[in-house]
Amino acid sequence: MINLVLFGKPGAGKGTQAEFLKSKYQLFHISTGDLFRHHISNKTELGTLAQSYMDKGDLVPDQVTIDMLKDAVENNPEAKGFIFDGFPRTTKQAEALDAFLSEKSIQISATLALEADDDILVERLINRGKTSGRADDQDEDKIRNRFDEYNNKTAPLRSFYVAQGKFHSVDGIGSVDQITQRLTALIDGLL
Ligand code: B4P
């Protein structure tokens, strides 16, 4: 069973690349951002809570995020493996994920980190904001706040996965196709 974590700053290409990887490797894709947006559009209690954080570019609190992620895994017992996109984003989430997966005798195979400069990421997100309607993509201050959240809370996960020998850095600048090729070369080398 192959289980991948896609790691990177907002706009690094996690969601974009997950679309290709899920079909190539027959993996079930779980994006915590997409799950929150689904709750928001369905006006659930969780959606209302999540929106108050997401609109400012803040991370949603750990416990609700972890519980939502666990439900998504439990609801897909037939999956041949998972792509975790945008999760974990804090050390607490990473520890919870390891503990949860080990109860099922499975583990993360690799963490693939898409690397790109902030200015390129801002440009991508502002561009997406013109059509996505996402409040968190439309304002450069909110985007910069998402980077601050990443630097403070998510970047420490790099050493968490390095210590496990699972961290792989990938150049996230180039065409979507080029980056898919870099990722698939890396994953094929791990299989
Ligand atoms: P996410 O939905 O995960 O959104 P994201 O970080 O913006 O990245 P995404 O994966 O969607 O975009 P991509 O880089 O593919 O998170 C949104 C919010 O949800 C967070 O800020 C937080 O509030 C909350 N949240 C989610 N998970 C959480 C968690 N675990 N804990 C707490 N809170 C959580 O693409 C961006 C743009 O770049 C697209 O327009 C794409 O077309 C473009 N692009 C991609 N690759 C490109 C390339 N190579 N060249 C040019 N453009 C490219």
The per-residue pLDDT for 181 is 98
* Tally of CB atoms within 10 A around 163: 9
Residue 133 reports pLDDT greater than 90 = no
Alpha-carbon separation of residue 3 from 60, 71, 97, 106 (angstroms): 23, 16, 11, 8
Q: Please identify, by atom number, the ligand 1 atom nearest to the C-alpha of residue 36.
A: 19
Please give the sequence-ordered ranges of beta strands (E in DSSP) within 32-158, or none if there are none.
Answer: 82-85, 110-115
Ligand 1 environment, Cβ below 6 A: 10-16, 31-33, 36, 53-54, 57-60, 65, 86-87, 89, 93, 124-125, 128, 136, 146, 174-176, 179
- Interval between CA 158 and ligand 1 midpoint (Å): 18
Residues 6+ apart with CB under 8 A from 68: 32, 35, 36, 46
The atom of ligand 1 lying closest to the CA of 175 is 49
Q: Model confidence at 191, in pLDDT bands (50, 70, 90)?
A: confident
Tell me the pLDDT tens digit for each residue of 143-184.
999 999 999 999 999 999 999 999 999 999 999 999 999 999
Residues 77-100 pLDDT 10s: 999 999 999 999 999 999 999 999
Whether the model clears a pTM of 0.75, i.e. scores above it, the answer is yes
User: Which are the catalytic amino acids?
Assistant: 14, 89, 128, 134, 146
Q: Give the mutation target among 5, 40, 59 for probing the ligand 1 site: most ligand atoms within 8 A of CB.
A: 59
**Ligand 1 probe mutation, 20, 36, 146, most atoms within 8 A of CB:** 36
**Average pLDDT value for residue range 134-150:** 95
Per-residue pLDDT reduced to its tens digit, 42-75? 999 999 999 999 999 999 999 999 999 999 999 9
Within 10 angstroms of residue 67's Cβ, the number of other Cβ atoms is: 12
C-beta of residue 161 within 8 angstroms of C-beta of residue 2:
no
Full set of structural domains in the chain with CATH: 2-190 (3.40.50.300)
Ligand 1 atom having least distance to the Cα of 14: 10
